[in-house]
Structure 1
């Protein structure tokens, strides 16, 4: 079976999320919309996985593609404060490194956090990188909890994707060594 590029990237990221949930011993149901349903403290929580990709660089900051991915998913009926939106931004981060006028990643994070029209409880931005100190390829993330995020979703995410482990993007992209 051959997958179009967009489908393949989304499938690859969904498999990563699925493997992560299994590794963390989280009981879940795989479904289509949203992608995962998780029973936590007698409540249903959800995870929707997507990727933000750039097909061709236009020489300007590519962070708008991340905002567009959020906006596109924001209209879905399952977009609510019990749902986390996981976004693979590896392609965007890589392409951002190759342009002269780079966007401000921290400004993007603030924009996501402060956007009152964001229906999700949390948005987690993932990227994949080589950790040379540990000698392996890894995913790192930046979690952005949205105002009104359900307490159960915050508690659940704290147990599997804590805020203390975060992605920061320097003004120039490099594969970061762990401290």
Structure 2
């Protein structure tokens, strides 16, 4: 839950340039790639991301993108129902945690696994979702209907549960 959701306050609007940076990062570009595409320095891109995170109350990039979609600061990506992958329950929980803005250590604690294992799970999630980065995984989650739908209710998955149950897109 973002700080603005918790307090019921509206997020400050993002500038056009902040939205441009966020769109590229959401599409799976690294900050360095986004900087090159926009003719900016990498430090300037990091600055835009930091300020955007402050405005939306979510400092972690995956959560920032999710908050931007949720608050209407960015248009959510179009739905993609082709070849919906089967996603293990733990990875689905991890996707929810990333969308909520959890840092790797926070996600690891919630999943009751090590930070190293959590990073491997993020890599596996990215592979399943055909995503380049954790931020892109959140965007793919939106495209596949795993996020931004009634199914995505915060805290719905049991932390640490690894039932082996796989979930397909809704």
Normalising by the residue count of structure 1, what TM-score does the alignment of the two structures yield?
0.26
Structure that is richer in helix per residue: 2
Structure that is richer in strand per residue: 1
Q: Which has the higher contact order (CA 8 A, sep 6+)?
A: 2
